[in-house]
Structure 1
Amino acid sequence: MTMIALTVNARDVKASVEPRTHLADFLRESLNLTGTHLGCEHGVCGACTLLLDDVPARSCITYAAACDGARVTTIEGLDDDEITTELRAAFKREHALQCGYCTPGMLISARDLVLRLPASDERSVRVGLSGNLCRCTGYVGIVRAVRAVIDDRRKRGIKPVPGGGRSALGPVGSGYGATASTSNIGTAPTARTEPQHEVNDAMVVADFTPEKVFKDHFTVGYPPERVFDMFGDVARLAACLPGASLTGLPTPERAEGLIRVKLGPISANFRGAARIERDPRNLSGRIVGMGSDQRSRSSTQGEIRYQLVPTEQGAATRVELSVGYTLRGMLAQIAREALVRDLASRLTAEFAGNLERHLSGAGPNGAAEGAQDLNAAALLMGFLRERARKALQYILGR
């Protein structure tokens, strides 16, 4: 179960939900807000449309846990909203509803069009409503009602809001309420503020409790003291990590940098800072970091603990790792735990290889420091090939 805190129709709500619970199911079953209807449950019909941080979103394909910190407005929360009130009157006047099942989602999508379209162009209205399906009316009355409200408001001198209040590109709601406009819904409260992890000189990298922790290890053919010295050289250490680069001059206790990640068509630049702790008495250390990607509105916190253990009578070193992390935002929805673990294992192996080469004086993969992105897709393909190889060995062994 995951504990979430969000604002629903101007009311603070805290609840424990299963990670797989969709926002629509949470609203209907836990909060009894049944005005949000469920139709196709594939994000196609639009019946479940609501406002997430003031922007229309499909609640049937949005996980409730991913909305932690967001502001949610359902059709029930728009009772006193000026635009929705005018739309309801126009829908009634133009005979724009019959069974009414699609109407809540239709009103919310129509509200967005009234808010941002400069004129009541029929094609623009039809395109804007194309994500909301109605099985009864044929759309003629609906389009007429929306166009009438747009015309009336523009004649009254009410100007359109460019972008409908959207302040950034990216998935709806991935900003956790921190950057969305609050001027569009009079009854909406100030959003709960989530840490945005913007990098500045005063940024404090605080301790945290990781949501996920896993352990790994690797061995390099150099004495522990030499490896420990290498771990203390932040610039050389960053050069061993694919996709990592420093954005400022590091100190032994602190570093600021960037990790570039590419997953298929999705690319992210996690910019942040790390706090470095080292204990030369037992050759151990700890790195605590935090960062965010503005494009995907994803943020992460991570902790790496390492212990250097001598092997082969001190000629080699076993590096024991404990890695903990917390991920928020769009990338958290596709980064499943098992996938992260497998990718991290391959990343650790690549880091170990770069470390070995750097200790030998050859440099990481012979490339310039920080020159290559962390290509998660390439790592994933390598992981899948390894899985296929093991499966084939298992079948042939039988």
Structure 2
Amino acid sequence: MSMIALTVNRRAVQVSAEPRTNVADFVREKLDLTGTHLGCEHGVCGACTVLLDGVPARSCITYAVACEGAEVTTIEGLDDDSVTTELRAAFTREHALQCGYCTPGMLVSARDLVLRLPQADERLIRVGLSGNLCRCTGYVGIVRAVQSVIEVRRARNIAPEPDGGRKILGPVGSGRSAHDGTYRAERIRRAASEQTLPETASSVPAIPDFIPATVLKQQFSVAHPPGQVFATFDDIGAVAACLPGASLTAPPKPERVEGAIRVRIGPIVATFQGAARVERNPADMSGRIVGIGNDRRSRSLTQGEIRYRLVPIEQGTRVDLSIGYTLTGMLAQVGRPGLVRDLAARLIAEFACNLDHRLSGASASDATAAELNGMTLVLSLLRARVTRWVGRFAPSKDGTT
């Protein structure tokens, strides 16, 4: 094993890896940066393209130990990059992606072209992207997307950068010799001192308001009067006990609650540590919970807002929910709105069942789920969908289908 110290997405890292480990496996397996995709693993398809010292390079055929001291930028590191932001919008507008597997590497290469080319020349763009293969689109939309970004930027008098901002020539890291013992020792020392995980969300002094990227509407009913349900919602410990995977990490305060929720989806396990503030309006039996949390292992951050209103009904109480959230980081790749919507419905069903047990006087252990198992929820969802699908073709009572 070799200790490798380099900079990944502007963050100094020091990680032990086998000498044969390539950069693609290094960022995916050691740093959970799975936006870099592996295709041919021979340096042909371009799906694994990343920036090494600012230059597009095939990460599947580049050894991580050869990048000692280099700056590596994956597609995740370009989230706030203005050129990549424009390219993403253009790719969507021009229908420049279908399955999306080649898209991370395609965006990295396209960004380099936008920086370098003085004008939107179709032939030069096709030559520049010839090392990035796509089996879906036919390239027409991709070329149009890159052309449109170049045209718009040149119209805004943004001049091309000579050599795309390249500062050195030669192999990756050649300007930062790994054989210089003094340099390497200093690099490792800096990485060790700088490699700290992001500040935990629970340490944030104030819970900020935000505009959710996705908003879901849900509702459920319980056979208990609104006053009893509203009083239970004031007991944060009781609410957490009813929510699968949730737990409190500190005694709740009127203005702040700190806790965690553990989620398992197949091999992916995430524990979001966070804090929230609770607002209540007894006049109309409504409330709002605004929170922020992060999973340190995947470096994923989420902000969430739950608005609820209790509505009296003949059988008890209907709880109307508005759930808004924003998810960034690695887990955003599995946080598709459609999947989240279906999982939320299953989660709320479990919460409602646990809440009903608690309101009926059941013990706390009877109303507690130890962990939110997303795979179980997904399988349950699939069974329900298959049942509905088969039902569409089942004969009715009069013999018709």
- 8 A Cα contact 1:358 1:364, kept in partner: yes
Residue 68 of structure 2 corresponds to none
Residue 15 of structure 1 corresponds to 86
**Partner Cα distance (1:255, 1:14) in 2:** 36
- 8 A Cα contact 1:354 1:364, kept in partner: no
Report which stretch shifted further, 28-37 or 202-211: 28-37
Residue 287 of structure 1 corresponds to 289
- 8 A Cα contact 1:212 1:326, kept in partner: yes
- 8 A Cα contact 1:197 1:290, kept in partner: no
- SS of match in other structure, 1:301: strand
1:13, distance to aligned residue in structure 2 (A): 7.1
Residue 127 of structure 1 corresponds to none
1:273, distance to aligned residue in structure 2 (A): 0.4
Residue 375 of structure 1 corresponds to 373
- 8 A Cα contact 1:291 1:299, kept in partner: yes
**Partner Cα distance (2:130, 2:189) in 1:** 23
Percent of residue pairs identical: 41
Q: How many residues align?
A: 273
Q: Deviations over 1:174-228 (max 9, x none)?
A: xxxxx779xxxxxxxxxxxx9855322x621111000000101110000000000
Cα RMSD of the aligned pairs, angstroms, is: 3.7
**Partner Cα distance (1:376, 1:167) in 2:** 35
Which letter does structure 2 place at the counterpart of 1:343? Answer: L
Report which stretch shifted further, 21-30 or 334-343: 21-30
Which letter does structure 1 place at the counterpart of 2:358? Answer: H
- 8 A Cα contact 1:287 1:305, kept in partner: yes
1:24, distance to aligned residue in structure 2 (A): 3.8
User: Unaligned regions of 5+ residues in structure 1, if any?
Assistant: 43-73, 89-106, 116-148, 169-178, 182-193
Structure-1-length-normalised TM-score: 0.60
- SS of match in other structure, 1:357: helix
1:199 pairs with one of 192, 202, 214: 202
1:39 pairs with one of 116, 121, 132: 132
**Partner Cα distance (2:383, 2:269) in 1:** 23
- 8 A Cα contact 2:201 2:275, kept in partner: no
Which letter does structure 2 place at the counterpart of 1:264? Answer: G
Q: Is the alpha carbon distance of 1:356 and 1:6 closer, same or farther for their aligned partners in structure 2, counting shifts above 3 Å? A: closer
**Partner Cα distance (2:388, 2:365) in 1:** 27
1:355, distance to aligned residue in structure 2 (A): 0.5
**Partner Cα distance (1:262, 1:163) in 2:** 34
- SS of match in other structure, 2:212: coil
- SS of match in other structure, 2:293: strand
Q: Is the alpha carbon distance of 1:358 and 1:16 closer, same or farther for their aligned partners in structure 2, counting shifts above 3 Å? A: farther
**Partner Cα distance (1:220, 1:76) in 2:** 65
Residue 303 of structure 1 corresponds to 305
**Partner Cα distance (2:335, 2:359) in 1:** 32
- 8 A Cα contact 1:197 1:299, kept in partner: no
1:14, distance to aligned residue in structure 2 (A): 5.5
**Partner Cα distance (1:207, 1:75) in 2:** 43
- SS of match in other structure, 2:202: coil
**Partner Cα distance (2:346, 2:381) in 1:** 7
- SS of match in other structure, 1:271: strand
The 5 A counterparts of 1:178-189 are none
Q: Deviations over 1:288-318 (max 9, x none)?
A: 1110000000010011100100011xx5000
Q: Is the alpha carbon distance of 1:77 and 1:157 closer, same or farther for their aligned partners in structure 2, counting shifts above 3 Å? A: farther
Residue 337 of structure 2 corresponds to 337
